[in-house]
Amino acid sequence: MLMRKNTYLIFLFIITFFNTFLVLAQDVLPTNEKIYTPNQIEMIKDQRDMVKKNRETFRNSLSKEQRSMLKNSKLSIKERQLALMKSLTENQKEVLKGNRESVRKIKESFSKSLTNEQKMVLKRRRDDLKGKREKLKDYKAGSNERRDKLKQKQENFKDRFKKQKNNLLPNPKLGS
């Protein structure tokens, strides 16, 4: 009997030990500092700063009418964008084109600086994030079904309760 208990405890310990390793062995996505070199991190910061500066320059070039178009909450986002694009001057269009061009060039130079290993890590990270988004979408879509089922169960419960209550009332036909 003592031998059985010891065997059982050892078996339980081994299972717990392996489960702990399985939990610890799960892949954790590396941070940007672990993926990129300091030079690449600096390139990313420079790109963000340039995009912010370009946006600010573009915003400052907008007229009051164009700004009011963007703030018009009666229009959808697409309608606002279309209205703004139709109202842009040639100079503003050139600024936007130049902004897109400079961002494209920086992206190209950045992608050329990536090693094959970095590309693989980034691809795996992108795929993992995409999978998580898909699961979240499925969960959110399923929540409507769950909510509907719950409402149906609540209605069924109310109906059953009403029937039971009606059955407990004295029946005038039986004379009770």
Supply the pLDDT for residue 22.
60
Supply the pLDDT for residue 148.
77
pLDDT, averaged across the chain: 81
Q: What is the pTM of this model?
A: 0.53
Q: Cα–Cα distance between 121 and 29 in angstroms, integer?
A: 9
Domain layout of the chain by residue ranges: 37-114, 130-165
Could you write out the three-class secondary structure of 81-149? HHHHHHHCCHHHHHHHHHHHHHHHHHHHHHHHHCCHHHHHHHHHHHHHHHHHHHHHHHHHHHHHHHHHH
For residue range 77-130, list pLDDT tens digits in order.
899 889 889 999 999 999 899 889 988 998 898 889 999 999 998 899 899 889
Residues 6+ apart with CB under 8 A from 94: none
Whether the per-residue pLDDT at 133 is higher than 80: the answer is: yes
